[in-house]
Structure formats: C-alpha cells, structure tokens
Structure 1
C-alpha cells in the first residue's frame, strides 16, 4: 500500500497571499514533510499536487528571493 507523503500535512499560507492585486489573492502554501523535504503548492488547486524541495534547495531558493534574483519575474 502506497502512502501519500502529503496526506495529513500541515500547510502554511504566505501572509502575502491576501489579494491586494484585485484578483482574489495568490495563494501559495508550504509545508515541512516528515522526511525533511519542503512541499510548495497552490492552495486554490491542491489537486494539482506540489513541488517538493530538499532543505538545501529551499534554502537556495529563499536566499535567491531575498537577494532579489527573481524580482524581474513579478
């Protein structure tokens, strides 16, 4: 029997997912998984699944965001 690693996961929504853009909000959620990975998903479409990162990958992503490396994408 295969166990879904995202079942019973406690998701945290970004406080910046409020909807100040007039489009009803951009709902990004993240969750720490029992195996040490981090899952990220669109809370409006959880059935689409999640992207899974190792802690090192998530750290690199967050550091890049803080450094402004992705500012041109917004």
Structure 2
C-alpha cells in the first residue's frame, strides 16, 4: 500500500520548494513514480528491470 511515508523525493529536486521533481516508491514487486507537483494524480508503476531500462534511457536522452 502506498502511504505518504512510502514516497522518496529525487535527490535532483532542484531549488525553491523542491517540488520540481519526481517521487519514487519502492514496493514489493514494482517501483512507482509520480510527479511531486500533482501527487493526487496517477502514478506509473514498473517492474524493477523495466524501471532500470527506463532510467538508463533517460540518462542517454539528448
């Protein structure tokens, strides 16, 4: 179950109020992400290998 304590803010959250980032939740079988500015909206959930591929693709995006 997702609770407010489940979510962790990105270490690259930027200046100001630090709300220009994504938050990550590590669940038993998935990793969930959400936009920190719109927490009540939908989240995305990935199986760990898919999440790793997603992050690697973002690192190489120009």
TM-score, normalisation: structure 1 = 0.65
Aligned length: 61
Q: List structure 1 runs of 4+ shifted beyond 6 angstroms.
A: none
1:45 Cα shift?
A: 0.9
Q: Which residue number corresponds to residue 7 of structure 2?
A: 11
Larger Rg over CA atoms: 1
| Bigger strand share | 2
**Higher relative contact order, chain-length normalized (CA < 8 Å, sep 6+):** 2
When the two chains are superposed, the root-mean-square deviation of aligned CA atoms in Å is 2.2
